[in-house]
Structure 1
Amino acid sequence: MAQEKTKFLAKERTIAQPGFNRWLVPPAALAIHLCIGMAYGFSVFWLPLSKAIGIKESIVCGPEIGFIQELTVTHCDWKISTLGWMYTLFFVFLGSSAALWGSWLDHVGPRKAAVVSTFCWCGGMLFSALGIYYHQFWMMLLGSGVIGGIGLGLGYISPVSTLIKWFPDRRGMATGMAIMGFGGGAMIGSPLAAELIKFFASDTDVGVMPTLIVLASVYFIFMMSGALGYRIPPSDWQPTHWNPSLSVKKNKMITHKHVDVKNVFKIKQFWLLWGVLCMNVSAGIGIIGMSSPMLQEIFGGQLIGIDKPYGALDKPQLAAIAAIAAGFTALLSLFNIGGRFLWASFSDKLGRKNTYLLFFILGSLLYLSIPQSANTGNKVFFVGAFCIILSMYGGGFSTIPAYLADLFGTQMVGAIHGRLLTAWATAGILGPVIVNYMREYQIAIGIPREQVYNQTMIVLAAMLMIGLFCNLLIKPVADKWFMEDIEEQAETVNQLEKQLIMTYESQDIRERPSHVLTILLAWSAVLLPLSWGIYKTLQNVSKFFN
């Protein structure tokens, strides 16, 4: 009776019934992350939107039109640099919304947070489509940048604590599966958007507005399905044959107590982890944005078998190496995505602290080796080094939630993770600024283009060394910060959950599996589009090797 009186989106309604199979939760998380991950692929809209009025060619605004005027201008086209502000706002609001509403998420549960995320992300895209119709850039910033960015933050952290609680024996693997989806969202969304733009483009429309409407509709279905598929385990649930005391004995960094999110800013381990994430992301995110021009400028004509520097190439040759560079970027995206799952899973065996030690030591050595491989024209080692670096960049994102759970417990890990994502927002500014401004400075003082990244690699290696230092200082959290048993019970167990726990105990159910067909259908729903995205990416990768 108690469950019938609770609201449909209430946290109590998401507590799993006896017989629920935990392997149904990861595809629900993937359904959401694969949709919001399209934030990485929004650049596919920049070029056509820069010709939204001119259609064939951009109608350039006069010099009197600044950024403020571009927000409402209707007689000339937006600059690509202006459109890029949407991308910036995505990740600013992702980090800030995750930090602001992380505690609310833990209170209301993942289903309600995911539903709010769905309406924000898809509603923001529809509002942006309306902005394109009226050619009002402020509507696009508000729609996708602000409202959509809030949806990003809530959608990104909504499955983290849930998966960690369902997979206490495989925390890294569980979070790796979900966060892999965020990295893979653009692999599906970008080629799909490109095809839709071609389909809808006409003599009077560049095709972006209807594309956004279609994407918002498709994403709404997938994200709502994922949100409704979320379940959380009862507070005392644990996998069959898993002994938590053994994991503590094996790894002293793992706790089974819980820290209150209200105290986390007072704990030095939180700020050390903040530095770990910030440095790892800063060292990788700037390279992602510059990977295509970097490869072209360093190797120039060598990419097509011509012994000419980048500045001496003609237009057909530049187009040829640009296609190869696009394949290089696609290759990096595959390693970024694969690293999110593989490194996080590997951390379950190696330990989170040791995994980050490997990231920082190996990453810094690879960064320091890149100038040598560039100077000698060793393209294989150059590309291989960046593939490994980007895999560790992705692995850093997926390993950090499990690291937090090890140190601070699982009860409020979603809220704590939200606060930690401010490091991502910081790195999203720091990394690109370092890479881009150092490049501009090197060119300005006359350094040849093939050498302008050498000093940058040394700086990025130094940033990883700072991250290494922070990681080495991380120790188990002092006992004084953990909640007492009475506090934990007050936070987790309500009357309905007590009734469900009694039901579990009375039925003596271990891990009675859900129907195999249900699990297969759930996984097929997310793996089929992901496979299509990987196929399209591999087509681009083939350009690099051919």
Structure 2
Amino acid sequence: MERGRESGQQGTEPNVPKQGTSGNILLRMIENHYRKTTFAKTDDQITAESHLFPGVPFNRLFVIPAAMVIQFCCGFFYAWSVLNRPIDIWMYGSPGADKSVITFSIAIASFGISAAVMGPWVERKGPKSSILLGSTFYLAGHYFSALAFHLRQMWLLYLAYGVVGSFGSAVCYITAVSVLLKWFPDRRGMASGLAVSGCGAGAMVAAQLLLPLTSEVGLTVAFVILPSAMLVPMSVAGFVLRTPPPNFMMVVEKQVVIDPGKHSSDDDDTRTRTNEIKCSKNENLSAVDALTSRNFKLIYVMFFANSIFGLVLISRLANITRDVFRKSEYEGTIIVSINGMFDLVGRLIFSTLSDWVGRKNCFIVLLSVQLVILSLFTLITTTQTYWAFLAAVWILTGCYGTGFGILAAFLSDTFGPKNVGTCQGVIFTSWSLAGICGGLIFSALFDAYKDEYDWDPYPYNVNVWWILAVVVVGLVACIFIKPSPKDKAFMGGLKAIFMKMCHRSETVNTRESYEMNSEEK
């Protein structure tokens, strides 16, 4: 009976009322852009994509290394902070010009806007066209950056790397994640984590590679070598990526919550496995319905809060180690590289763990950990406890990376896999806002106090206070997100264990009390 009802719901896709848009051509175009996100394959395409090469049947495992290669190349984007000082010296002759960091801020803004606009296009056109477009712009952004260094024109660097290259990176990023989630509906957390972990690995390698490379050949030649080295791997990965055929299905787990107040036998479990694939109402949401839902707005705020400290930190980490703790530039690059490793670990391990724990539960933990560490951060920097600073930074970076690793799976669970590209694209505008707003506020406060507090952590500490308030808001928003069956199952299991422990403790206390009374008698 239940299955029949769900089958009947599949044919009725909820629509957003179109009153007020019928007479406005621009609004109708925007609505159509976000509503029509289906990639229709021809029979010839389905037949051709069933094999990787003639005689080699395609396996969904092939998309994992392909997606990771794409993300690895995009990960160079995160190591920009190690180039801030060399670029300022090359362009302005002064390491204190502080203009190079603006490139990263522009790139963040462009990334979010590009992902939001191109998300539906990626879903409509499929991965091959998307990777072709994205990689072309991403590599072209590097080549034009080389021209900017040659001409010593900062505005051209802002345009080339900040806009063109970031646009390409955004298209490649959402394409790789979207494809992988479609192939692994049974392990969305793992798939999302594997995809974006390549990005953390790229940042880690880039942090160690960029400074020696630019020192050896100069900025201009380095930004010719980098895209030339990425061209072949990205092309091969784009050839491998493809979406599943229309009849693709996987066995997934259905989770139910058992009332912990009821006595159950030892054979009962909080999770029961079934061979049926059930399609929830969320699987049939249109992109417009998903984007206007209450859950999406709460996830938007939550992701903004989870990203803001990581973004502000990533672009200035090398500067903080030098300014506050007086470490060398070389040690700063080592710290940035290790930081990338924690980003990688967060994206990979905890996103896989979310397949059992639940996405919302993971985000509550992430934001709570950030809340505690940020509360102690000013004490750590004021006392200049270097080891504690490194531990705090790396844990916070792990939280930042974990948020990225879980996000796509969270959106897929909540709004259906067909809306991942669109929803993730729009969500990335919150990431861009976090980077831009956080960067502007950080810079304004830092510039106001840096001359007054020379070699003092106060210009950095004063920024932690408002970031702490943002994280509190994000945690509240996360709490109000509707939990998934997986979130309920995990919490139900914890509650059941807690109740059993309390029951056992009560039994032991009763027994001890009885024995004491017996002895007294």
TM-score, normalisation: structure 1: 0.70
> Which residue in the other structure is 1:399 paired with?
406
Out of 267, 273, 277, the position equivalent to 2:299 is: 273
Superposed, 1:362-441 pairs within 5 Å as 362-375=369-382, 378-441=385-448
- Quote the offset at 1:453 in angstroms: 4.1
* 1:170 and 2:208 correspond: no
Residue identity in the other structure for 2:296: F
> Which residue in the other structure is 2:351 paired with?
344
Check whether the contact 2:115–2:425 (CA below 8 A) recurs between aligned residues: yes
Question: Quick one: distance in 2 between partners of 1:167 and 1:88?
Answer: 34
User: What is the CA deviation profile of residues 196-216 of structure 1, one whole-angstrom value per residue up to 9, with x for unaligned ones?
Assistant: 33443xxxxxx2222222211
Instruction: Report which stretch shifted further, 445-454 or 37-46.
Output: 445-454
Question: Quick one: distance in 1 between partners of 2:252 and 2:202?
Answer: 36
Change (3 A) 1:236 1:403: same
Question: Quick one: distance in 2 between partners of 1:140 and 1:297?
Answer: 26
Out of 218, 226, 233, the position equivalent to 1:222 is: 233
Unaligned runs of 5+ in 2: 1-39, 258-269, 273-277, 485-521
Out of 214, 223, 235, the position equivalent to 1:212 is: 223
Check whether the contact 2:106–2:163 (CA below 8 A) recurs between aligned residues: yes
Question: Quick one: distance in 2 between partners of 1:47 and 1:448?
Answer: 18
Change (3 A) 1:448 1:47: closer
> Which residue in the other structure is 2:61 paired with?
23
Question: Quick one: distance in 1 between partners of 2:416 and 2:305?
Answer: 24
Check whether the contact 1:259–1:408 (CA below 8 A) recurs between aligned residues: yes
Instruction: Report which stretch shifted further, 127-136 or 89-98.
Output: 127-136
Check whether the contact 1:365–1:461 (CA below 8 A) recurs between aligned residues: no
Residue 418 of structure 2: SS of its match in structure 1? coil
- Quote the offset at 1:337 in angstroms: 1.9
Out of 199, 202, 206, the position equivalent to 1:185 is: 202
CA RMSD of superposed structures (Å): 3.4
Check whether the contact 2:185–2:252 (CA below 8 A) recurs between aligned residues: no
User: What is the CA deviation profile of residues 75-131 of structure 1, one whole-angstrom value per residue up to 9, with x for unaligned ones?
Assistant: xxx985344333222222111111111101001111210111111111222233234
Change (3 A) 1:372 1:150: closer
Residue 298 of structure 2: SS of its match in structure 1? helix
User: What is the CA deviation profile of residues 235-293 of structure 1, one whole-angstrom value per residue up to 9, with x for unaligned ones?
Assistant: 34233xx2354489959998662321122332111111110111110132212333344
> Which residue in the other structure is 2:285 paired with?
259
* 1:97 and 2:123 correspond: no
Instruction: Say which one has the larger Rg.
Output: 2
Check whether the contact 1:3–1:12 (CA below 8 A) recurs between aligned residues: no
> Which residue in the other structure is 2:252 paired with?
243
Question: Quick one: distance in 2 between partners of 1:92 and 1:336?
Answer: 21
Superposed, 1:28-177 pairs within 5 Å as 28-50=66-88, 80-177=97-194
Question: Quick one: distance in 2 between partners of 1:452 and 1:140?
Answer: 28
Question: Quick one: distance in 1 between partners of 2:311 and 2:374?
Answer: 14
- Quote the offset at 1:325 in angstroms: 4.5
- Quote the offset at 1:362 in angstroms: 1.7
Residue identity in the other structure for 2:77: A
Change (3 A) 1:192 1:103: same
Question: Quick one: distance in 2 between partners of 1:411 and 1:396?
Answer: 21
Change (3 A) 1:98 1:189: same
Check whether the contact 1:258–1:410 (CA below 8 A) recurs between aligned residues: no
Residue identity in the other structure for 1:169: D
Question: Quick one: distance in 2 between partners of 1:199 and 1:325?
Answer: 19
Check whether the contact 2:134–2:171 (CA below 8 A) recurs between aligned residues: yes
Question: Quick one: distance in 2 between partners of 1:465 and 1:35?
Answer: 34
Question: Quick one: distance in 2 between partners of 1:134 and 1:447?
Answer: 34
Question: Quick one: distance in 2 between partners of 1:336 and 1:326?
Answer: 15
Residue identity in the other structure for 1:243: V
Residue 284 of structure 2: SS of its match in structure 1? coil
> Which residue in the other structure is 2:313 paired with?
287
Check whether the contact 2:143–2:223 (CA below 8 A) recurs between aligned residues: yes
Instruction: Report which stretch shifted further, 255-264 or 91-100.
Output: 255-264
User: What is the CA deviation profile of residues 426-470 of structure 1, one whole-angstrom value per residue up to 9, with x for unaligned ones?
Assistant: 011122334343344455676982445444333322221111111
- Quote the offset at 1:382 in angstroms: 3.4
- Quote the offset at 1:339 in angstroms: 0.8
Question: Quick one: distance in 2 between partners of 1:133 and 1:101?
Answer: 31
Check whether the contact 1:11–1:111 (CA below 8 A) recurs between aligned residues: no
- Quote the offset at 1:343 in angstroms: 1.7
Check whether the contact 1:99–1:420 (CA below 8 A) recurs between aligned residues: yes
Percent of matched pairs sharing the same residue: 27
Residue identity in the other structure for 1:345: T
- Quote the offset at 1:349 in angstroms: 1.3
> Which residue in the other structure is 2:476 paired with?
469
Residue identity in the other structure for 2:298: L
Residue 233 of structure 1: SS of its match in structure 2? coil
Question: Quick one: distance in 1 between partners of 2:460 and 2:96?
Answer: 27
Question: Quick one: distance in 2 between partners of 1:328 and 1:189?
Answer: 12
Check whether the contact 1:255–1:406 (CA below 8 A) recurs between aligned residues: no
